[in-house]
Structures are given as structure tokens and as C-alpha cells.
Amino acid sequence: IQLGIKVEVLPNLYMVANVQLKRMITEKTPDNFDNLYVPGFGKTYDTSEIGVGYTYGIMYRIPFFKK
């Protein structure tokens, strides 16, 4: 599940933020070793299959055409 917001701060300049709730479906572990980090999921813990993440950023839209 991902929830986010995008706000126009100035003309064509946006601030973006989102929160992600992730659930691990499968995980392959090598012999005699435990996974500490799974790409796309983050840190793994033995107690939970659920992960939480967030992102934020600044976007600029290049105006190719004028209205």
C-alpha cells in the first residue's frame, strides 16, 4: 500500500512525499546465512513480515508547450 501527496510550490515546481506499507511474501535465504536486507523491502527482522518506508523529493516539470 502506498499513500502520497504532491503539492505545487511554485509554477512547475512540486514537492512530493509518500509512505509505503510493505509485506514480504517470499524470501530465499542461503544456507547457514540470514538475509539482513532485501532490495525493495528494506531491513528484515525475524519477528515481522511487514515493513514501512517513505520517500520525498522535489520535481520540476519542463514546459514544452505554452497554453
> Which three cell numbers, joined as nine digits, stand for 47?
519477528
pLDDT of residue 15: 97
CA dist., res. 29 & res. 66, Å (int): 54
- Name which of 20-24, 26-30, 59-63 the model is least confident about: 26-30
CA dist., res. 3 & res. 32, Å (int): 37
- pLDDT above 70 covers what percent of the chain? 96
pLDDT of residue 34: 73
Q: Tell whether the torsion through CA atoms of 9, 14, 15 and 16 is positive or negative.
A: positive
